[in-house]
Amino acid sequence: MPAPENFGVEMVGVPEGAAIELDLRLEAVLEGVLVTGTATVPLKGECSRCLDPIASTFEADFQELFVYDDTRSGGNAEDDELRLEGDLIDLEPVLRDAVVLALPLSPLCRDDCPGLCPDCGARLADVGPEHHHDVADPRWAALRDLAGDMPASPGRGNGSSGSRGFDRREGKQEG
């Protein structure tokens, strides 16, 4: 059967009109018809990390009871009951629930996909692990500018400020 439109989630889904292969078993039971089956669907989408295209197949199992009009609730159908329409069964809602609810919300092209570089957008799988950017945190830019304007004071930075000093590691004064 051809796939209906909007048969998927935002990142991955079944293309409209694609062939859905159904393997069904219909059983007559006291209250109606029990439909058990497997749907095999083609999937197309994009990886949620690197945005590369994804194409695969997916199988979803389902089982649903379609009740006769004169059984179960005495002709007053509840909202969650599926009914036979004469001799016909509408499988689209059942297939949509089975397939769409089982699809991943964040599909991946592979489990260890590294994604994209947050700075330049390069695909990390292509550029390798040595790819990096020397980007300073903009919150420290004002302090960096102040440090560049300050003259170097004598005795600063070499630890030779006399016999008394301050040990930063321990937070106490020496001497």
Residues of the chain with pLDDT under 50: 74, 158-163, 166
In sequence order, what are the beta bridge partners of 39?
22, 60
Q: Which residues contact 92 (CB under 8 A, 6 or more apart)?
A: 4
At 131 the pLDDT is 86
Amino acid 83 reads R
Q: Are 124 and 109 in contact (CB under 8 A)?
A: no
At 162 the pLDDT is 47
At 120 the pLDDT is 86
At 77 the pLDDT is 53
Show the tokens assigned to 153: 């004071």
At 169 the pLDDT is 54
Give the model confidence (pLDDT) of 86-127 as tens digits. Answer: 888 999 999 999 999 999 989 999 999 988 888 888 888 888
Helix (H) or strand (E) run with residue 34 in it: strand 32-46
Q: Got the DSSP string for 50-104?
A: T--EEEEEEEEEEEEEEEPTTSTTTT---TT-EE-BTTB---HHHHHHHHHTTS-
pTM of the model: 0.64
At 163 the pLDDT is 47
